[in-house]
Amino acid sequence: MRFSLKEHRLLRLNRLNASREIAPVTLPNCRLIKGIEAGSEDIDILPNGLAFISSGLKYPVLKNPELDKPGEIFLMDLNEDNPKAVELRISRGFDLASFVPHGISTYIDKDDTVYLFVVNHPHQKSTVELFKFVEDDNALVHVKTIRHDLLTSVNDVVAVGPDSFYATNDHYFFDHILMFLEMLLGLTWSNVVYYSPKEVKEVASGFYSANGINISPDRKYIYVADIFDHNIHVMEKHANWSLTHVKTVQLDTMVDNLSIDPHTGDVWLGCHPDGMKLVYNDPENPPGSEVLRIQNILSEEPVVTCVYSDNGSVLQGTSVASVYEGKLLIGTVFHRALYCEL
């Protein structure tokens, strides 16, 4: 099937949900988090209420106002009455100057060691950095850098072991011109890769742009957001780490990252209502924010609720939403972060 240039442009606008308007949905007890100014692209919360926040993403096709600032990882203790974001120190020997954190995931080992996996884009490449969290020192000790030919354009990871994970490649290409052409032509070359020191393999493919990835509380299912196809894929995880497709939940928004409520299994989504505004990042017409919650995602009739939406006057370019004990953190690609009490 061949498309004209006009049809290609319409397809691109559809993928980006261009010109979609949203009604505001406010929450009564919210405040912007002091100290986070250059984004909060992904958030992962430990069972004890410690929240890790990645900040400082620089992405080829997006206009980031903080291009010269190295990336950071923040920590918030959500058990505190008035939690604050604290920048974590990173051990010597790690190249902080080229640190560009993207998706993150935590893993608690059998001896209670906490590992933090961080997608990194040093010099416009893709690596996964493995850190050990030292709570008493508010520090991250760098363990190793993971590179592989199958980890080409990594967006997000979900840890399944102390040195193993699933990763999404959001594009086949990492060069920004080729990435743009990939989207313009509607190529479904994005995929999911399983990585361990002993085995690395593609486990799912055929996505327009696989973005956020997470795992169900019972560790049986993997959830993958396809940001350009406006949906979530539910995949069953098998003993050999392969994945099989179970169902697709179609939505009317661009889904970025996924977070899972460990108690209810609800899936919380950070979404972009209009991706074109995100790309241009015009201060006079800023990108909006949208947070969705999906209840009973494995049932025949999942319940989708819009919990928060804003036209960009408060929060711009939401990428993630994570909950802990009635508290909600909302992160963004390159703007601020919001703390709410539900």
CA distance 48 to 147: 31
Tracing tokens 């991706």 back to the chain, one arrives at: 275
- b/e per residue, 280-300, with b = 16+ CB within 10 A? ebeeeebbbbbbbbbeebeee
d(CA 97, CA 69): 8
Q: Residues 8, 102, 142, 245: which is the catalytic one?
A: 102
The annotation status of 214 as a binding-site residue, yes or no, is: no
**Phi, psi for residue 100 in degrees, rounded to 5:** -130, 80
Annotated binding-site residue? 48: no
Is 41 annotated to bind a ligand? Reply is yes
Short-list 316, 310, 313, CA closest to 336 = 316
257 belongs to an annotated ligand binding site:
yes
Q: Is 155 annotated as a binding residue?
A: yes
256 is in an annotated binding site: yes
Give phi and psi for 15, each to the nearest 5.
-60, -35
102 annotated active-site? yes
DSSP 8-state symbol, 316: -
- Which residue ranges make up the annotated binding site? 41-42, 104, 155-156, 211, 256-257
- Which residue ranges make up the annotated binding site for Ca(2+)? 41-42, 104, 155-156, 211, 256-257
Catalytic residue numbers, as ranges: 102
